[in-house]
């Protein structure tokens, strides 16, 4: 069973002379339970693609299936429900609420789907932040803040973790640590991961690498022996 099937997917922004074709009739089968990297230069359509998959935005034309269910023409309410049930997002910016502690930041999102404090604690333990439950974002390093945002994304145990340049704002060593946390979640929770990067070295940790260029799929390659984050360098 595929996690996502994408048929003739097109996304255009703007109109007339200002029209931008961000994705141009792309077709993809994305298998489940894999660690997938989406690679491509700036402007190639990476964020646009995962925003469609995560029901953050709707396509201009084409079809997206999640398993057997078509999600293309969902209403706003259906999109919100779908995200709450299935998707965890991690972005380059951590988007934590400054007046809430690490634990409260995780709980805040988990409460939306009715999960408990215990589950928020488990998520923070999973990312190695047991000692930081009661710290505010300003009292945490960038890497720690990103790990809180990952804990928030995984607390409801989503089927898919969508990560858009999660190490983009981090130094090399911290980036490797954060990638290690994402890989661990993938392995231990069997969460499917789609991770965007423009860094070819990071692509070496993936099972499958999908390369985009100018809104089209340039290539799909399988890594027979993906590296561990600690084995890559750039
Ligand atoms: N809201 C928007 N309105 C108009 N054009 C947009 C919008 N969002 C993206 N685009 C355009 O669509 C194209 C694809 O953008 P997208 O953000 O998907 O690229 P990306 O691969 O994620 O790039 P980056 O690596 O810089 O984040 C770009 O040409 C971009 O300028
Ligand atoms: Mg982007």
- pLDDT tens readout for residues 179-209: 999 999 999 999 999 999 999 999 999 999 9
What separation in Å is there between the alpha carbon of 46 and the centre of ligand 1? 8
* DSSP track, 132-178: GTT--GGGS-HHHHHHHHHHHHHTT--SEEEEESTTTTS-HHHHHHH
What separation in Å is there between the alpha carbon of 46 and the centre of ligand 2? 6
pTM: 0.96
Distance, CA of 62 to CA of 72 (rounded, Å): 8
Tokens of 123: 């998520």
* Ligand 1 environment, Cβ below 6 A: 13-14, 20, 22, 40, 42-48, 198
Distance, CA of 158 to CA of 64 (rounded, Å): 18
The reply to whether 8 falls in a domain is: no
Q: CATH number of the domain that 95 lies in?
A: 3.40.50.300
- Which residues of the chain fall short of a pLDDT of 50? none
Give the domain range for residue 107.
34-61+75-231
The reply to whether 27 falls in a domain is: no
The reply to whether 66 falls in a domain is: no
The reply to whether 1 falls in a domain is: no
The reply to whether 133 falls in a domain is: yes
The reply to whether 6 falls in a domain is: no
The reply to whether 12 falls in a domain is: no
The reply to whether 92 falls in a domain is: yes
Q: How many domains does the chain have?
A: 1
What separation in Å is there between the alpha carbon of 43 and the centre of ligand 1? 5
Tokens of 60: 């201009």
């Amino acid at each position: 069973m595929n996690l996502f099937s994408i048929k003739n997917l097109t996304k255009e922004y703007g109109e007339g002379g200002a029209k931008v074709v961000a994705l141009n009739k792309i077709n993809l089968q994305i298998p489940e339970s894999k660690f997938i990297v989406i690679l491509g230069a700036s402007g190639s359509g990476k964020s646009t693609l995962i925003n469609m998959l995560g029901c953050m935005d709707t396509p201009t034309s084409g079809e997206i299936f999640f398993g057997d269910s078509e999600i293309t023409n969902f209403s706003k309410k259906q999109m919100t429900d779908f995200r709450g049930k299935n998707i965890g997002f991690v972005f380059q910016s951590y988007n934590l609420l400054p007046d809430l502690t690490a634990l409260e930041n995780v709980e805040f999102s988990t409460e939306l789907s009715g999960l408990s404090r215990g589950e928020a604690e488990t998520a923070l333990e999973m990312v190695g932040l047991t000692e930081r439950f009661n710290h505010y974002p300003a009292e945490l390093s960038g890497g720690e803040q990103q790990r809180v945002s990952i804990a928030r994304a995984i607390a409801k145990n989503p089927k898919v973790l969508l990560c858009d340049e999660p190490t983009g704002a981090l130094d090399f060593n911290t980036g490797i640590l954060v990638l290690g946390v994402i890989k661990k979640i993938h392995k231990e929770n069997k969460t499917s991961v789609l991770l965007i990067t423009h860094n070819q070295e990071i692509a070496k940790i993936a099972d499958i690498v999908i390369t985009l260029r100018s809104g089209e799929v340039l290539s799909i390659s399988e890594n027979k022996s993906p590296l561990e984050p600690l084995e890559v360098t750039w």
